[in-house]
């Protein structure tokens, strides 16, 4: 990530479909907010300012999944204008909880919620992560991203460095913290599958990880699936739990799994 000579980095923060929790997280950096706006040239951030500019950017942070035709166009426009596009938060990196496994499942959900209402201003499309439509340079997962993760990213970006990566699953930190393993007690924890970055905050409090940082690199879904089956959970319950925050990224796994077990 190169600095724009001695000029401030031009940053745009954009929200597609989601709860806006990642944008809110930035606003929640109350002690650092003035410094953030002084250190970087925040060109666009609808939640924080009204004089937004759609110009060339060094970095675009894109939150939310792509859920309408208008968002596809908006995203492609951002890609054209930004040197670096960052998928910001789990909806952008993995599709979030609104992403469904299949087009049929999504159609069914859409009908249940909206019935036969005709949408006039844009057309809804199956919610997907942003890299289904554009090339993405960096991924900052989390639902929402954590404050430390965002500030760390920003400080490193201002210095021209790439963000820190979190290669381990939640279990590694959980073990460092000497927690009793919840899986061994028959509680369906997704720590082995989930990228760490949160410091294993849930199992630290005896609550199972439900996967909000998205799948860890190289996560062994098959092994966790059989383990949960052994603990007495059925396929639908396991699928629902695993898919909650993995969005469309687990579709292939379950389709293959279903075929093999038929
Ligand atoms: S409690 Fe969860 S995160 Fe901790 S070691 Fe067990 S499976 Fe992993
Ligand atoms: S432990 Fe799991 S569910 Fe809890 S914050 Fe971390 S990644 Fe999210």
Instruction: Identify which ligand lies nearest to the alpha carbon of 202.
Output: 2
Nearest CA, atom 8, ligand 1: 171
Q: Residue 89's closest CA among 164, 140, 163, 18?
A: 140
Buried b (16+ CB within 10 A) or exposed e, 214-230: bbbeebebeebbeebee
Predicted local distance difference test score (pLDDT) of residue 222: 87
160: which DSSP letter?
T
Please list the pLDDT of the chain residue by residue as tens digits (262 residues).
545 545 899 999 999 999 999 999 999 999 999 999 999 999 999 999 999 999 999 999 999 999 999 999 999 999 999 999 999 999 999 888 888 767 888 888 889 988 888 877 888 898 899 999 999 999 999 999 999 999 999 999 999 888 887 789 999 999 999 999 999 999 999 999 999 989 999 999 999 999 999 888 888 888 998 999 999 998 888 888 888 777 666 777 777 777 776 6
Q: Is the CB of 133 under 6 A from ligand 2?
A: no
Q: Is the CB of 219 under 6 A from ligand 1?
A: no
Q: Residue 238's closest CA among 214, 249, 222?
A: 222
Measure the CA–CA gap between 245 and 29, rounded to whole angstroms: 25
Q: Could you tell me which residues come within 8 angstroms of residue 96 by beta carbon, excluding any fewer than 6 positions away? A: 18, 64, 65, 89, 90, 127, 143, 245, 247
Are the C-beta atoms of residues 198 and 39 closer than 8 Å to each other?
no
Ligand 2 centroid from CA 204, angstroms? 10
Are the C-beta atoms of residues 141 and 90 closer than 8 Å to each other?
yes
- For 10-158, give the CATH class: alpha beta
Residue range(s) of every CATH 3.40.50.700 domain in the chain: 10-158
Residue whose token pair is 């004089």: 51
- Tell which one of 180, 181, 219, 242 to mutate to probe ligand 1, the residue whose CB is within 8 A of the most ligand atoms: 181
Please provide the DSSP assignment of 121-148 as one string: S--EEEEE-GGGTS--SEEE--TT--HH
- 193 Ramachandran zone, left/alpha/beta (phi>0; psi -120 to 50): alpha
């Amino acid at each position: 990530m190169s600095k724009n000579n001695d000029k401030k980095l031009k940053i745009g923060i954009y929200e597609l479909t989601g709860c806006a929790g990642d944008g809110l997280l930035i606003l929640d950096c109350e002690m650092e907010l003035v410094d953030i706006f002084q250190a970087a040239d925040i060109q666009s951030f609808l939640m924080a300012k009204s004089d937004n500019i759609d110009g060339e950017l060094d970095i675009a942070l894109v939150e939310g999944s792509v859920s309408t035709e208008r968002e596809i166009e908006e995203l492609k426009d951002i890609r054209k204008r930004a040197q670096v596009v960052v998928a910001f938060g789990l909806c952008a990196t993995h599709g979030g909880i609104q992403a469904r496994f299949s087009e049929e499942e999504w159609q069914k959900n859409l009908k249940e919620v909206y019935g036969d209402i005709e949408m006039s201003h844009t057309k809804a499309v199956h919610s997907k992560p942003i890299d289904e439509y554009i090339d993405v340079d960096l991924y900052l997962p989390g639902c929402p991203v954590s404050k430390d993760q965002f500030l760390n990213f920003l400080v490193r970006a201002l210095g021209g460095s790439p963000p820190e990566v979190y290669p381990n699953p939640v279990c590694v930190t959980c073990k460092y913290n000497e927690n009793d393993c919840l899986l061994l007690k028959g509680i369906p924890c997704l720590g082995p599958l989930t990228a760490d970055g949160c410091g294993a905050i849930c199992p630290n409090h005896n609550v199972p990880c439900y996967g909000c940082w998205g799948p860890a690199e190289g996560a062994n879904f098959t092994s966790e699936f059989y383990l949960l089956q052994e603990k007495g959970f059925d396929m639908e319950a396991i699928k629902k739990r695993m898919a909650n925050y993995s969005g469309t990224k687990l579709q292939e796994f379950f389709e293959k799994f279903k075929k093999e077990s038929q």
